Amino acid sequence: MIKMDNLTKRYGSTVAVSGLTMDVHDGQLCVLIGPSGCGKTTTLRMINRLVEPTNGEILINGEDNHSSRPEVLRRSIGYAIQSVGLFPHMTVEQNIGTVPSILGWSKPRIVDRSRELLDLVGLDADAYAMKYPHELSGGEAQRIGVARALAADPPILLMDEPFGAVDPLTREMLQRQFMEIQRRLKKTIVLVTHDLDEAIRMADKVAVMKSGTLVQYDTPEELLSRPADSFVRDFVGADRALKRLSRIPVTTLMQPAKAVHRGVPLNESDFEGLPRYVWVVDSEERLLGWADTSGGRDTASWQVEETQAGRVSVLENASLREALSHMLGQGVRNVPVVTAEGKLVGEVTLKDIEEATAE
């Protein structure tokens, strides 16, 4: 989809990007990362010609990105930035419809598309369409920025620190939501970030840059397990084995969970196979809490420690890093895995995670 060949950008005697060659395949999310001043934002802006290269070329679907006027090129590429850049005098609906309006879409079509995208980014269209940017929280504004970038359904999306201006909890929520959007839409995305955890969590491929040059371009797994040199090794950090856990879904290590149905009697053979503490589920297999089995096999007499499933469990699409965080936070050695509806599907143990980290 995007091919950069010997791309170079000079500002006088300063070389911002030097001889960059890399491909971003159709449907991939590529993250550019590196120290400040390494050339990642300059590279991003050369794709949609906000910055013109000194040498080299960029091909999009086999065509030179200079084959059309810059403004025409930019209308076919979504662009989202850290400061969002929403027009303060426009409503949310009008902001989302900026590019479709330029492209000549009818007003009803723009309204329908705006409402569709508000739903996609998790905002109620009835509540948000007529709001103005000053009425939005930072996280809401970031979501509107993403919606606006997607408005004309561009095949390519460029994102420059899109989640950098919000607090860590909101950023993680936005990352997770955006990954779900990408899973559904499969856009070709180039994203700039300074946050290594964000890169590892989100990327299909990571490009590590230093002083305008590409040092390593690999999958997050390869980057963490086989750094190309000492610079990459230091950049990803000594805890790279722990970072790898964010790329491993809990389902890869999930085991069947020992669980009983509340109030359903156990026969002797079933009871003998139970550990002291077991998970308790209802008739729909939804997690209710846990119970101590030392009182005998009469489940009706057990004291069930009920709890909200979200406090002790992780979702089945969570990573091992999230599971480990849950264990450390709760002071336990195993964590139940549930569906979005709260149904118990298995559990992950600390021992399994330790073995995965040691590999």
Q: Which residues pair with 79 in a beta bridge?
A: 158
**Alpha-carbon gap, residue 290 to 301, rounded angstroms:** 13
**Alpha-carbon gap, residue 230 to 218, rounded angstroms:** 16
- Cα–chain-centroid distance for residue 199? 9
Query: Nearest 5 degrees, angle CA 57-CA 61-CA 65?
Result: 40
* Residues 11 and 186: beta-carbon distance below 8 Å: no
pTM confidence score: 0.76
Range 332-340, long-range pairs (CB < 8 A, 24+ positions): 336/257, 336/279, 336/287, 336/309, 336/312, 337/250, 337/251, 337/254, 337/257, 337/313, 338/286, 338/287, 338/309, 338/313, 338/314, 339/315, 340/315
N-to-C CA span, the chain: 35
pLDDT per residue, tens digit, the chain (359 aa), is 899 999 999 999 999 999 999 999 999 999 999 999 999 999 999 999 999 999 999 999 999 999 989 999 998 899 988 766 788 999 999 999 999 999 999 999 999 999 999 998 889 999 999 999 999 888 888 889 889 999 999 999 999 988 876 777 778 888 888 888 898 889 999 999 988 888 998 999 999 999 999 999 999 989 988 899 999 999 888 677 777 888 888 888 999 888 888 777 776 666 766 777 888 888 888 888 887 777 676 666 666 676 655 677 888 888 888 888 888 887 888 889 999 888 999 999 888 888 776 65
The amino acid at 220: P
Please, which residues have CB within 8 angstroms of residue 224's CB and are 6 or more apart in sequence? 200, 236, 240, 241, 243, 244, 247
Tokens of 52: 């013109």
As a whole number of Å, the CA-based R_g of the chain is 25
